[in-house]
Amino acid sequence: MKKPIALLLVLMMIVALAAPSASAADETELIVFAAASMTETMNQIKELYEAAHPGVVLVYNFDSSGTLKTQIQEGADCDVFISAAPKQMNQLDASCDAEKNPDGLDFVEQGSRINLLENKVVLAVPEGNPKGIESFDQLAELLKAGDVFLAMGNSDVPVGQYTQKILAFYGLNEEDLAKAGCITYGTNVKEVTTQVSEASVDCGIVYATDAYSAGLDSVDAATAEMCGQVIYPAAVLNVSKNPEEAQAFLDYLTGEEATAVFESVGFSPVEKETASQKEVSLSQSGS
Amino acid sequence: MIDLDWYPLWNSLRIAAISCVLVFFFGIFFAYYAARLPRVLKGILDVILTLPMVLPPTVCGYFLLLVFGVKRPVGMFLLQYGIKFVMTWYGGILAASVVAFPLMYRTARGAFESFDKTLAYSGQTLGLSNTYIFWRIRMPACRQGILAGTVLAFARALGEYGATSMLIGYTPGRTATISTTVYQLWRTNDEKGAMFWVLINLAISTVVLLTVNMLEARQKKAVKA
């Protein structure tokens, strides 16, 4: 009775250990950390890119940019990083001053950083708009009265940070609202989107692209005055094991095919900048 | 962001306590009656009842959302009566009970099955009712196992994160539990805040375990005497 069981356990262990090494070693694996809001578009681009470049396999990690930045900082393998706000990229960029890069981290390959996309922050509501919310102005009134349940990203999530700016724009105190139980926090933009889709909340603040991809009604878009421009920077990391392939992929993302995919869900491409323009925008961006 | 807000402590404790009570009664109920079922039915029921223990908490959370989500049939039905398990503190009771139930159920079943039936028979020959036999003979005899199951259930309910997070989210002052708060504080780089709650949780768990050990020791002494 004991021998067969021991044999079975040993076999299970062998299978478990042998399985991973069965994958091919000839292909180049490009690991891309991208903001959660890029899930649908990046998956489409993966198909296009891998078809055009056999021998390259794209491996994605989608999550809130804050989570990704922490993972990179902690030593995760990554070739390309696309953040949903300049803040997280600045925190990894050695060319940024101590205010934007307080820990003095150096992960960005200098010269590879570009502003890839622009997005919009919108107010999304569940199907049928049960609470009848029509605008950010109205939302502000409802929040003041404590009469609405809003889902937003937490302070580590770019869309959460943009939401904080919008709340500040309307003179609302986030802490008071939280204590009144008006706000629920999601750990990334997809969690917030899901909560709105499931009608677990009255409304949520997400990106236009997420609302579009999830088929949600967005009733209002935030202006640049309310939360600033929503810029997605992208860069090759200096810890990349395949810097040439990584740069090639980054170049592809600014090309026509990729841009068409991004535009189909609501992203806008940012013009490719010259070095001097980059310096100007770097000094203006980041929070 | 949230400074010294004691809500998670109070919320976690009440969710764990209520879940523990619910799971205690449901656990022994099922453990007692499942033993009496015909073999095939007993096997199937056993698998269903033990499933939440074997499934990852996030899978349990997903199933709970599928059933009790506001857009789903059961969720919509309950909403008419003002009951919403999604995004409410009592939704946490549902999540914790579901994941803690198998622990109580299995332990109680184990205890009941090793119960010396001749004690029950003696009770019957003395003309005692089944209820009396159950609560005054069987339960005290299976005390160790029942207590162990209850402690496990309480600990599991207190430490529930995955299903809880998916079902009730994180709303400060309304649905925050210790486990979701620690995650949130860690995620937003509030190291001090996260550590504070970790220590609180350690303290509670230590107190519970010490109490249980004390009770067990006293019982053993009573038996020896």
pLDDT at res. B30: 92
Instruction: Provide the CATH topology of domain A121-221.
Output: D-Maltodextrin-Binding Protein; domain 2 (3.40.190)
Residue ranges per structural domain of chain A: 26-118+231-284, 121-221
pLDDT at res. B2: 45
Task: Please tell me what DSSP assigns to residue A237.
Answer: B
> Is there a contact between A198 and B65 if contact means CB atoms under 8 Å apart?
yes
Q: Residue B125 corresponds to which tokens in the numbers above?
A: 């020959």
pLDDT at res. A273: 45
List, in sequence order, every residue forming a beta bridge with A207; answer none if it has no partner. A121
Mean pLDDT per 10-residue interval, chain A, length 287 residues:
84 78 69 93 94 92 92 91 94 90 89 93 93 93 92 92 94 90 91 92 94 92 91 94 93 93 91 48 51
> Which residues in chain B touch residue A66, judged by CB atoms under 8 angstroms apart?
187
CA dihedral sign, ordered A212, A216, A217, A219: negative
How close A54 gets to chain B, by Cα (Å)? Answer: 36
Q: What is the ipTM of this complex?
A: 0.71
Q: Are the beta carbons of A77 and A30 closer than 8 angstroms? A: no
> Is there a contact between B189 and A156 if contact means CB atoms under 8 Å apart?
yes
Q: Which parts of chain B have pLDDT scores under 70?
A: 1-4, 222-225
> Which residues in chain B touch residue A185, judged by CB atoms under 8 angstroms apart?
169-172, 184
List, in sequence order, every residue forming a beta bridge with A93; answer none if it has no partner. none
> Is there a contact between A179 and B172 if contact means CB atoms under 8 Å apart?
yes
> Is there a contact between B174 and A181 if contact means CB atoms under 8 Å apart?
yes
A200 touches chain B (CB under 8 A): yes
Q: Tell me how far apart the alpha carbons of residues A100 and A73 are, in angstroms, rounded to a whole number.
A: 15
A179 touches chain B (CB under 8 A): yes
Examine domains A26-118+231-284 and A121-221 and report if their fold is the same: yes
Which of 3.30.43.10, 3.40.190.10, 3.40.640.10, 2.40.50.100 would CATH assign to domain A26-118+231-284? Answer: 3.40.190.10
pLDDT at res. A287: 43
- SS3 label, residue A33: strand
> Is there a contact between A181 and B189 if contact means CB atoms under 8 Å apart?
no
Q: Tell me how far apart the alpha carbons of residues A112 and A107 are, in angstroms, rounded to a whole number.
A: 11
Q: Residue A181 corresponds to which tokens in the numbers above?
A: 């139980």
> Is there a contact between A154 and B169 if contact means CB atoms under 8 Å apart?
no
Radius of gyration of chain A measured on its C-alpha atoms: 21
- What domains are there in chain B, each with its CATH number? 7-224 (1.10.3720.10)
How close B173 gets to chain A, by Cα (Å)? Answer: 6
Residue type, A205: I
Buried b (16+ CB within 10 A) or exposed e, B95-125: bbbbbbbbbbbbbbbebbeebeeeebeebee
Using CA atoms in the order A71, A76, A82, A83, what is the torsion angle rounded to 10 degrees? 10
Residue of A nearest to B79 (CA): A200
